[in-house]
Structure 1
Amino acid sequence: MDIDPSPSTSSGDLMALTQSSLPKIDENNAIESKTPKERILELLDVLESHVEKLRREAAQLEEDRDHLLSSLDSVRNTDLIIELADNDRDDVCRYAERIMNRCLTVEVKILTQRDKTQEEALHQVNHLIDGLVMCVKSDPENAKAKCVSFMNACSSNIVHGVTDKKFESALLGCTVDDQKRVKKRLQGLLHYFDKLNVTSIQ
C-alpha cells in the first residue's frame, strides 16, 4: 500500500508540526544562535523521526493483515468444517472466502534498500520458507520441526530443537529489516501450527 499524505494535511501544517517539535531558539542570544545549516539539520532530524514512525506503523499494519489472513485460513481448514452439512459448509466457505478476498484488497508495501547480495539472500530465505509452507498439509509435524529450526536461526537463544545452518547462513546475508520480517513471519507460522493442534484436539 503506497501511503499518501492525509488530504487534510497541507505543507504548511506539516511545517508547523515539525517546527513545533524543534527547540525554541532565542535569536538574541549569541551563544545559542545556530547557523542556517544547523537549523535545517534540526528540521530534517524531526522529519526523519516522522518517516521512521510512519514505517513502523505501516509494518504494524502489514503484520495485522498477515495475522488476519492466517486466522481466516485456520477457520477454513478447521475440522469443524467437515462436520457441517453440505449446504452449511458451502455457506461458511463462501463467507470465509468473501472475507479473505476483502482482506486481500489491502496492500501494505514497505520498500527496503538492498544490494544484489542481500536480494539473493532474501530470495533464498523466502524459497526455504515457501517450501516449508508447501508441506504443511501433507506433513505438518515435519513442517513444524523445520519451522522451529528456522526460528532458532533467528535467535541467539535456542528454545529447543536444532538450528538450520543453511537457513541461518542465508538469513545473515539479509538486511536487518528483512531479518525482523522473516522472524515475525516464522512466529506467525508457529502460531498457526499451535492453532492447528488446538483445533485437532477439539
Structure 2
Amino acid sequence: MDVDPSPSTSGTDMSLSSNLTAILPKIDEDNIMDPQTAKQKMTEILDMLEGRVEKLRKEAATLEEDKDHILASLDSIRTADWILEMAHFEQEETHRYLDRIIERCLTVDIKIHTQRDQPQEEALHQVNHLIDALVMTLKTDPDGAKEKCISYMNACSSQHVHGIMDKKFENALLGCTLDDQKRVKKRLQGLLSYLDRLDVTCEGD
C-alpha cells in the first residue's frame, strides 16, 4: 500500500532545508568538479557549523549559570531574617509564591554533555566531593569555610587571592577536563561571593 507523504513533515523538511541553505556559504557550481575546491568549500561549511556549535554551548552554559543564580537568590530570600518580621499569613503567602517560582524555574532543564574518560570522571567526583564537604561546614564554621574556599580558588588560578593553596584540590582539579575546570572555578566564585555577603550581613548585625 502506498503512503502519501505527510504535508506537515514535508513542510518541516522544506523549512529546515531553506534555513540550512541560508546559513551555508554558496558553492560555485562551475568549480564543483574540482576536488580541491569542493574540499575547501566543505571545510568552510564545517568550520562555520563548528563555530555555531561552540556558540550554542556557550549560550547554554550562560543559561545554566542564570538558572543557578536565580535559584540561589530565591533560596536567600527564603532564609532572609526580614521574612520572620512578617505576619504568619504573609509568610505563608510569600513561601507559596517562592515555591511557585522555584518549581517554574526547575522546569528549565539545561544539559551540556562533557566527554570524559574514567580518570577525568573520578577527578571530577573528587572535586565535587571536596566542594560539597565545604558547603556542609558553612553553618557550623563560616570563617573556616571561607578560608577553605579561598584555598580552592587559589588552586584554580595562578594569581592567588590571598592565603594558601590547597594542593589536594589542585591535584584533583588538574585531572578534570578544561570545561569542568572552568565550571568549578565559576562555582567557587559564586560560593565565595555568597560568603562575602554573609560577612557583611554579620558585621551589620
TM over 0.5: yes
TM-aligned CA deviation for residue 9 of structure 1: 5.8
- Between the aligned residues of both structures, percent identity stands at 59
- Under a length normalisation based on structure 1, what TM-score does the superposition of the two structures give? 0.85
Which residue number in structure 1 is paired with residue 106 of structure 2? 104
Task: Show the counterpart of 2:4.
Answer: none
State whether structure 2 residue 127 is matched by structure 1 residue 125.
Answer: yes
CA deviation string 1:2-48 (max 9, x = no partner): xxxxx89613312321226xxx86957xxx99432222111101110
Q: Distance in 1 between matches of 2:134 and 2:56?
A: 32
List alignment gaps of at least 5 residues for structure 1. 1-6
Which protein has the larger Cα radius of gyration, Structure 1 or Structure 2?
2
Instruction: For CA contacts below 8 A with separation 6 or more, give which structure has more relative contact order.
Output: 1
Aligned equivalent of 2:189, options 181, 187, 190: 187
The number of equivalent residue pairs is 190
**Structure 2: 5+ residue runs without aligned partners?**
1-11
Number of the residue aligned with 1:94: 96
Partners in 1 of 2:79 and 2:151 — Cα distance?
25
Q: State the alpha-carbon separation in 2 of the partners of residues 149 and 184 from structure 1.
A: 15
Structure with greater proportional helix content? 2
| TM-score normalised to structure 2 length | 0.83
Select the residue among 154, 157, 160 that pairs with 2:162: 160
With 131-140 and 115-124 compared, the bigger mean Cα shift is at 131-140
CA RMSD after TM alignment: 2.3
Deviation at 1:84, TM superposition (A): 2.5
The answer as to 2:39 corresponding to 1:14 is: no
In structure 2, the CA distance between the partners of 1:114 and 1:150, relative to structure 1 (3 Å rule), is same
Q: What is the aligned partner in structure 2 of residue 35 from structure 1? A: 37
Whether the 8 Å CA contact 1:78–1:196 is kept in 2: the answer is no
- Given the alignment of the two structures, is residue 49 of structure 1 paired with residue 51 of structure 2, yes or no? yes
